[in-house]
Amino acid sequence: MAISTGSPFGKLTGKLGSAIGFSWKNKAAVRSYAIPANPRTEAQQAVRGVMSQLVRIAKQVLDSIIHKFWDPYAVGMSGYNYFLKANIPDMNGQFTPAALHFSTGSLESVPPIAFNYAEGTGEFEAHWQTTISSNGSPNDLIVAIIYDDANKMVYVFDTGKKRSDASIQGTIPSYLDFNYLHGYFFAYRNDSNGKLFMVSPTSYHEFSEL
């Protein structure tokens, strides 16, 4: 920084060429203008791409997933930010649908068997194993999620199905490419007052054609 004792232009304020004039301790001062850094390395652009995809998904499931299953466990941040923070590391710099976490918790997970889709009708069937090996219960509630990577759309099915039911059916738009469809399960349990008590991690499975 330089102190100006006189200028052919008079007192300089604001930007002129590569110099910026301002007042400092009641004296006219001049400093050079520095262009703010905007990192655009390949790795940094990849991280931005991952974040963009996650934000798009988070906005779609804000009410159905994040407020219900992430807000209660978020400490010092919103459930929205907790969702993003939990998902970024496993992407390893590249958005990967198989690495998505729609839930996090210590309840026994839901092992998927199959996700099937009928292109002509949009109907799907999803099946899971009902065997319990740790802290699961036949009455745990199941959430099924479908992510369409081609159209960047998320479909959530929280319909009251239980772990013991073994399957869920539903409808999404027809004539989607099943190669871009991704299926997810997780379980949750409420306490006697209907308040969320436990949640399982997310399980992933690719789609097949019916």
Q: In this structure, are strands 203-209 and 112-117 parallel, antiparallel, or unpaired?
A: parallel
Q: How many helices (H) and strands (E) does the chain have?
A: 2, 12
Q: Residue 31 phi/psi, 5° resolution?
A: -135, 160
Domains of the chain: 2-32 (no CATH), 42-209 (2.60.40.10)
Tell me how crowded residue 210 is: count the other CB atoms within 10 A of its CB.
13
CB 140 within 8 A of CB 191: no
Distance in angstroms (rounded) separating the CA atoms of residues 115 and 70:
25
Write the CA distances from 158 to 49, 141, 181, 186, integer angstroms.
29, 8, 18, 10
pLDDT, residue 126, reads 98
| Confidence at residue 77, expressed as pLDDT on a 0 to 100 scale | 97
**DSSP-assigned beta bridge partners for residue 141:** 162, 188
Query: Tell me, what's the pLDDT at 117?
Result: 98
pLDDT at 47: 76
Report which DSSP code applies to 159.
S
Name the burial class of residue 193, with classes exposed (0-12), middle (13-18) and buried (19+) by CB atoms within 10 angstroms of its CB. Answer: exposed
Given CA atoms 155, 156, 161, 167 in this order, what sign does their dihedral have? positive
Radius of gyration of the chain (CA): 26
What is the reported pLDDT for 193? 96
pLDDT, tens digit only, all 210 positions of the chain: 445 555 554 555 555 656 676 666 677 777 776 666 666 666 677 678 899 999 999 999 999 999 999 999 999 999 999 999 999 999 998 999 999 999 999 999 999 999 999 999 999 999 999 999 999 999 999 999 999 999 999 999 999 999 999 999 999 999 999 999 999 999 999 999 999 999 999 999 999 998
Torsion of CA 41, 47, 48, 51, to 10 degrees: 180
Q: Maximum CA pair distance of the chain?
A: 85
Characterize 25-43 residue by residue with b for buried, 16 or more Cβ atoms within 10 angstroms of its Cβ, and e for exposed. Answer: eeebebeeeeeeeeeeeee
Q: Which residue has the tokens 């992933």?
A: 204
Asked if residues 66 and 79 have their Cβ atoms less than 8 Å apart, the reply is yes
What does the pLDDT read at residue 6?
53
